[in-house]
Amino acid sequence: MAITTEADPTPMVLGIAAALRRSESLKPSLIAGMKGVAAVCSEHDPQAVTIRFSRGDVHVEHGRADDVGVAITMDLAQDGLPGAPKPNVEGVLTHLRFALSLAKVIDPPLPDWRSAADSYWAACSMRPHMPSGMVVVETDSGDRHVVGDPTTAGYEVHGPADRLARVFVGTAVALEELLKGRIQGRGPLALAVAITDAGLALGLGEVEP
């Protein structure tokens, strides 16, 4: 089984490929059973990818190909937010099973926020400019979780479980979440940028969780 991308991939190609790899690691049989061509398109801009499933081998390329069986069009900026509009799915009547599987594999279940933080830290703590440790606070419960060196933790990230998990998996951009008030932080701007950059690298599959 292999998940490959076109040469010189777009960010959306990389992001979808990273999501497929997460899905594959969680439930390999789901992708292994898929055969067909699908597209995922942005509702508000030209971003689009075509995914070719062939019983475990998957290839992702940019753009919407002519031969797609199922196409999902979604608001990428709202993805994962409460009240986000439902994606529009074409081809669901003729390719029901494939469409249902597609919806699952491009948006795999999020890990628990603590596990996400641990995986993030394991993958990214050695990247340039990262803090020596990080405190993560889940704001609904008040629970704290420390990754790295607890005595010199240089940055705190506060937020609800779902947003924390998305930031640490790399499907939400930390500084953008901060800017929009969905999470909060305490520490130098330099570390906020480094933490954001590392999350982006995870989301684009530049580093493996």
Partner 1 sequence: MSQLSDLAAGGTVRTVRLMASLPDGRLIGKYVSATHLLEMLPSGPNVADIVFGLDVDNDPFVTAWSTWRGELAELYLAPDMATLVVDPRTDGMATVICSFVLPDGSPIPECPRGMAQRLLTQLADRGFTMRVGFEIEFNAFEESVAEARGRGYRDLTPLGGNVRSMYSTTKSLLVVRFMDALTRRLDQLGLHWESWMDEGGTGQFELNLEPDEALRTVDHATLARLAIREVAEEMGHCVTFMAKWHPTEWGGGLHCNHSLWVGDTSAFYDESCDDNRSTTFRHWVGGLMATMAGAQAVFAPNVNSYRRLVELAGSPTTVTWSGDNKTTSLRAMARTPGSARAEHRAPGADSNLYLVMAVVLAGGMAGLDEAIEPPPPCAEMAWGLPAEDPKLPRSLMAATEAFRSDHRLAAGLGAEFVDFWAGTRKWEWLAFHTTGGDPDSPLTDWELNRYFERV
DSSP, res 87: P
Q: State which residue, 98 or 154, has the beta carbon closest to partner 1.
A: 154
> Of the listed pieces 107-115, 151-159, 160-168, 192-200, which binds partner 1 according to CB under 8 A?
192-200
Q: How far is the CB of 60 from partner 1 (least distance, A)?
A: 14
> Of the listed pieces 89-97, 106-114, 145-153, 170-178, which binds partner 1 according to CB under 8 A?
170-178
Q: Is 85 in the site for partner 1 (CB under 8 A)?
A: no
Bridge partners, 157 (sequence order): 136, 185
* List 107, 138, 177, 197, residue binding partner 1 (CB under 8 A): 197
Lookup result for tokens 């982006």: 200
SS3 assignment, position 56: coil
* List 1, 84, 126, 193, residue binding partner 1 (CB under 8 A): 193
* List 19, 89, 196, 202, residue binding partner 1 (CB under 8 A): 196
SS3 assignment, position 33: coil
Asked whether 38 and 50 are in contact (CB, 8 A), the reply is: yes
Q: How many CA atoms lie within 13 A of 47 on its CB side?
A: 18
CA distance 39 to 179: 31
Q: Is 119 in the site for partner 1 (CB under 8 A)?
A: no
Sign of CA dihedral 12, 18, 22, 28: positive
Residues near partner 1, by CB under 8 A: 8, 10-12, 45-47, 62-63, 76, 128-129, 173-176, 188-190, 193-194, 196-197, 200
